[in-house]
Homo-oligomer: A and B are copies of this chain.
Amino acid sequence: MSAGAQQQSVAEAEDRSAVGVQGKRPPGEVEVLARTVEALLFLGGDPLGTRELADAAQVDELEVAAALALLSEQYAPGRRGIQLREVAGGYTLATDPACEEAARRLFNRPRTATLTPAQAETLAIVAYLQPVSRPEITRIRGVSADSAATTLLERGLIEEAGRSQFGAVLYRTGTQFLKLFGLRSLSELPDIAQWDPAPEEQAELRERLLRAGEARAEGGPAPA
């Protein structure tokens, strides 16, 4: 086989997977279906069987098989960063193991240990009032703290401490809390007085926080 003929056959093989770009002929049905199957496999985390794919694309399983054959060529090992895999129960897209080192570095990159405003407020309430329930945190903040609390739980900064008599989950600071703030014990939490807008107030902290929160929820005057 001459070099020219070889290149021509390569061109033919390539042409099947690159239809529609050059605009020389409309993409065939298999190519269009392959794109749909590709999109479905991309979205679905779990493997999809030919039956499911056929139902979603409203074609028969034979057509899906042809589309999958085309895709498995496009996703042949070593060609892309993603591979088409046939696993128990169907097909799925997964990353090429050769790229996994980089993926590990991506997921385990050192994250800056900062708190969002909502997280800082939620954590401060838990630290100073523990144990404290989620509804109480919401009442003090005037807005829900659900997603902030979830993140703090995941990061080990707060943990559950049983339930209140009304069934609400109680929180206290978690194992990572003292470590991250460089404290030896909770008694080393700074005295709130220096940030207190009304240090002369005699009422206890919890009472005052709840009162301020309820005033906010009522809606103070709009800022001019």
A residues with CB within 8 A of B: 4, 7-8, 10-15, 17-18, 20-22, 27, 34-40, 42-44, 48, 52, 55-58, 76, 78-82, 93, 95-96, 98-100, 102-103, 105-107, 109, 116-118, 133, 135-136, 138-139, 141-144, 150, 153, 159-169, 212, 216, 219-223
Contact = CB atoms under 8 A, between A and B. Distances in A.
Contacts of A44: 106
B220 A106 contact: no
Contact of A56 (B17, B18, B39, B106): B106
A118 B160 contact: yes
In the assembly, how many copies of this chain are there? Answer: 2
14 contacts: A7-B12, A8-B8, A11-B14, A20-B78, A38-B81, A38-B82, A39-B96, A39-B102, A40-B99, A48-B106, A56-B106, A117-B160, A165-B223, A168-B220
Given A10-B11, A11-B11, A44-B106, A135 B219 contact: yes
